[in-house]
């Protein structure tokens, strides 16, 4: 099972453009990331810049898109980074999330990524057929 662990630093929504984590926090996170890698569960990870740094939202209405530049003052929770891990169970994902060296002002959300087996058998078959045929519909 693949899970995404997202970190929400509580002060990130109001962070100024160009703000970066301090070196001590980066060292602690680097050690944790090395543990994930050594255990063979890490698929991807990255940090995100604060919303004040070139953020934008794309919304859709009646099939048309609209771009709105940030920052967005009404934002209360902002993702500061993420990990994608592959583990055997939800419990294992939560165990890894509990080991993140977070600060008092941070929260981690853990969500499972969709897998083809989440879809009904007839839909799974259609997905496999489309990919096998190179269908780009």
Q: pLDDT by residue for the chain (137 residues), tens digit each?
A: 999 999 998 888 788 888 888 899 899 999 999 999 999 999 999 999 888 888 888 999 999 999 998 877 677 788 999 999 999 999 999 999 999 999 898 999 999 999 888 888 998 888 888 888 775 55
Annotated domain spans of the chain: 2-133
Strand order in the sheet with 2-9: 42-47, 81-86, 2-9, 106-112
Q: Answer for the pair 88, 99: CB distance below 8 angstroms, yes or no.
A: no
d(CA 31, CA 112): 24
d(CA 47, CA 21): 10
Structure tokens at 55: 């953020």
Q: Could you tell me the pTM of the whole model?
A: 0.82
- Cβ burial of 63 (10 Å; 0-12, 13-18, 19+) is exposed
Structure tokens at 111: 């969500």
**Residue closest to 81 by CA, chosen among 51, 52, 40, 49:** 49
The CATH superfamily label for domain 2-133 reads: Dimeric alpha+beta barrel (3.30.70.1060)
**Which whole-number Å values give the CA distances from 61 to 58, 67, 75, 99, in the listed order?**
10, 12, 21, 41
């Amino acid at each position: 099972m693949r899970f995404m662990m997202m970190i929400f630093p509580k002060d990130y929504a109001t962070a100024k453009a160009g703000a970066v984590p301090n070196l001590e926090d980066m060292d602690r996170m680097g050690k944790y990331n090395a543990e994930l890698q050594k255990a063979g569960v890490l698929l991807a990870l990255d940090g995100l810049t604060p919303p004040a740094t070139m953020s934008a939202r794309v919304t859709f209405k009646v099939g048309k898109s609209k771009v709105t530049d940030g920052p967005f003052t009404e934002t209360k929770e902002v993702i500061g980074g993420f990990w994608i891990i592959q583990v055997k169970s939800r419990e294992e994902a939560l165990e890894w999330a509990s080991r993140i060296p977070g600060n008092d002002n941070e929260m981690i959300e853990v969500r499972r990524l969709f897998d083809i087996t989440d879809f009904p058998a007839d839909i799974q078959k259609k997905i496999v057929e489309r990919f096998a045929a190179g269908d780009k519909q």
